[in-house]
Structure 1
Amino acid sequence: MGEINPLIAPYQKANDRRALWELANTLIPYAALWAVMVWSLKVSYALTLLLAVLAAGFLVRIFIFFHDCGHNSFFSSTTWNKRVGFWLGLLVFTPSEHWWHEHAVHHATSSNLDKRGRGDVTTLTVEEYQKMGRMGRLGYRLFRNPLVMFGLGPIYMFVISHRFWRPGSGSKERNNVILANLVLAALIAGMSWWIGWKAFVMIQLPVLWLGGMVGIWMFYVQHQYEDMYWARSGRWDYVASALAGASFYDLPKVLRWFTGNIGYHHIHHLSPRIPEYQLAACYENVALMQKFAKRLDIRASLRTVKLALWDEARGRMVGFSEAAKS
């Protein structure tokens, strides 16, 4: 890491003017889309749902800003990262301090087989799966089913799960969840009074569901691919977990914009202090980031859906059918 730090250091500096511009070119169109969707309800709900697809793209981008605030990388000021991040979190139905804490644990333990279960996609080894009973296997298969993970997952996570704190959470995280829930309830009540609760639900639910689906997919594909890196604590290495345990999701430029460049995930895991608006430049200008990138394009990413278990013996992710042959 000592050799890499000087190469990526220039990209670790937040630019407040750039951050404000990122907020403006995202929050203003998002608010405008909401206004148009409210109007569209009087015309056609099909039009509303079509607009919701675009709004969901902006919501994903808002989540990345919220995410960067948690890493204290979006603004140069810790205070502004905390304040702005809290309100961005409300837009994505996520309590800031609680989620940021869980996400920090994810960064510290990513790809460590002995420290799974915090802020990651639940992943079992082939041996663990084979030792489970019938009901345990069925539950894991259901969880890994794309219809469950990407279909039901967004509603469960953003509407239900984020309303509670994790057992063992500190008072800071618990208080943050309570405050976020209260403010969010007030905002929902205000919007429902303004445009009607039916209109609010008909707009917010599909936008949140579609945006959440994309968000879960992005997180999944960036840590679930065939030749990724998993290791036990004794052999786990931070740099390896970043460069080999997080992919470079090579998306078209317009999708990179909507996903806040988080596709450069190997760089993000190597240095979370690099803001989303500096990730592409870091990749283009630091040859090492290109050399070690585990590149996935859209076609390759779709093949990762069949992967479900880590095969320690073969050192790669496998599907259920392949695991059955072990």
Structure 2
Amino acid sequence: MTKEKQLHLRKQMAPYEKSNTNSSIMQILNTIVPFIILWFLAYKSLSISYFLTIGISVIAAGLLVRIFIIFHDCCHYSFFKNRKANKILGTITGIITIFPFSQWQHEHSVHHATSSNLDKRGVGDIWMLTVEEYISASIWKRIGYRLYRNPIIMFGLGPIYQFVIKNRFNRKNARMNERLNTYITNVSIVALYSLLCMTIGWESFLLVQAPIFLISGSAGIWLFYVQHTFEDSYFEEDQNWEYVKAAVEGSSFYKLPKPLQWMTGSIGYHHVHHLSPKVPNYKLEDAHNNTQPLHNVPTITLKTSLQSLKFRLWDEHNKQFVAYKEAITIMKNRKEKQLVSKFN
């Protein structure tokens, strides 16, 4: 893709970058209000059957993912035209999803500016090693990496670490406004949870909140993981890295069934989002459908996305993700070729 085509593609996003206040308010009403109602119904169902509670919790968890997408849009100042309105709603939805607004806004902005850049990994992304890095790593680093990328840990323990622990602390060198926002978020979460525990009892609170939190957290990490981990993705060193290519080739189009697309705030159109973070979630689909070059981006489905679980390392030579066994085979073949070349 030439520079001119890349520039033109970014310009094609301009008509979709303006938020619509009515659409934003409607999304608040059809997401946050039903979530509160379902949370209450889940609590009431405890006296009937915990299986019913779990069933309601699954739907509530889906809505919590959707609330996070609203929070996510606020972090990009794309949900409302007014920046202050985005900050206020972002902080409120951050309390609901237990994410500090200003802290995550900074981290996520770095992610957008460095996504798929091999020389700028480490902030706002999932830990990824190349084949060469893995082979040359110490045994302890390999073990740590394997544990980190293990599905049980990543999607099971991952949400607990990221949301409950990591989000509670400010990053090093954070500015005062960011630190204050984290403190306000933490205090608000403690106050809200304490009030609920005093009102309905801590046992009931945990029985309702725990499954909602675990299901939505696992789903959220899965969405982030799968949208940047697919076989023929895009990763380049800084000198060859290009923003538009990173967006349309390094971010997948996760084609989901309509109900799941609604629950996930259309974030499956991740290539559009990375191409232009200013496009609010309710315009992502239109931006994709009305932009012809985007119809050829990497597309995955519920079925094909499961293949990403076997992708562990990035092979810089073949430009694709590979499994651990494939990586070892690749390195053995390269060493054999080097030896042959040396003796010849």
TM range (shorter): over 0.9
Aligned position for 2:8? 3
The Cα offsets for residues 53-98 of structure 1, whole Å up to 9 and x where unpaired, read as: 1100000000000000000001111111000110001110110000
CA distance in 2, matches of 1:194, 1:9: 48
Report the equivalent of 2:317: 313
Alpha-carbon separation, structure 1, partners of 2:256 and 2:217: 18
- How far apart are 1:288 and its partner, in Å? 1.7
Partner of 1:52: 57
Q: Does 1:251 align with 2:274?
A: no
Answer with 113-122 or 131-140: which moved more: 131-140
1:41 alignment partner, SS class: helix
Once the two structures are overlaid, the 10-residue window that deviates more, 225-234 or 154-163, is: 154-163
For 1:32, the aligned partner's letter is I
Give the superposition deviation at 1:303.
0.3
- Other-structure match for 2:281: 276
Partner SS for 2:232:
coil
Unaligned runs of 5+ in 2: 1-5, 331-344
Using the size of structure 1 for normalisation, the TM-score is 0.98
C-alpha displacement of 1:7:
1.7
Query: Which residue is equivalent to 2:92?
Result: 87
**How far off is 1:111 after superposition?**
0.3
Q: Deviations over 1:87-145 (max 9, x none)?
A: 00111011000011100000000000000000001000111111111111111111111
Shift of 1:159: 1.2
The alpha carbon displacement at 1:43 in A equals 1.2
- The alignment-based identity, stated in percent, is 46
Candidates 56, 76, 90, aligned match of 1:71: 76
TM-score when scaled to structure 2? 0.93
Q: How far 1:195 moved relative to its partner?
A: 1.3
Which residue of 167, 170, 183 corresponds with 1:165? 170
1:151 shift after superposition: 1.1
- 1:274 and 1:145 map into 2 onto residues whose CA distance is 33
103-112 or 163-172: bigger deviation? 163-172
Equivalent residues in 2 for 1:216-235, closer than 5 Å = 216-235=221-240
Are residues 1:176 and 2:169 paired? no
Q: AA paired with 2:306? A: L
Which structure: larger Rg? 2
1:16 is matched with 21
In structure 2, the residue corresponding to 1:226 is in which secondary structure? coil
Moved over 3 A (4+): none
Structure 1 partner of 2:339: none
CA shift, 1:175, in A, is 2.0
Partner amino acid, structure 1, of 2:92 = W
Moved more, 36-45 or 230-239: 36-45
Stretch deviating more after TM superposition (311-320 or 250-259): 311-320
Match of 1:99 in 2: 104
CA contact (8 A) 2:232 2:320 kept: yes
Tell me how far 1:210 sits from its aligned partner: 0.3
Q: What letter corresponds to residue 237 of structure 2 in structure 1?
A: R
| Count of aligned pairs between the two proteins | 325
Q: CA deviation at 1:174?
A: 2.0
Question: Which residue of 297, 302, 308 corresponds with 2:301?
Answer: 297
Q: Give me the whole-angstrom Cα distance separating, in 2, the residues matched to 1:137 and 1:282.
A: 41
Residue 85 of structure 1 aligns to which amino acid in structure 2?
Answer: G
Q: CA deviation at 1:304?
A: 0.6
Measure the CA separation in 1 of the matches of 2:48 and 2:142: 47
8 A Cα contact 2:10 2:275, kept in partner = no
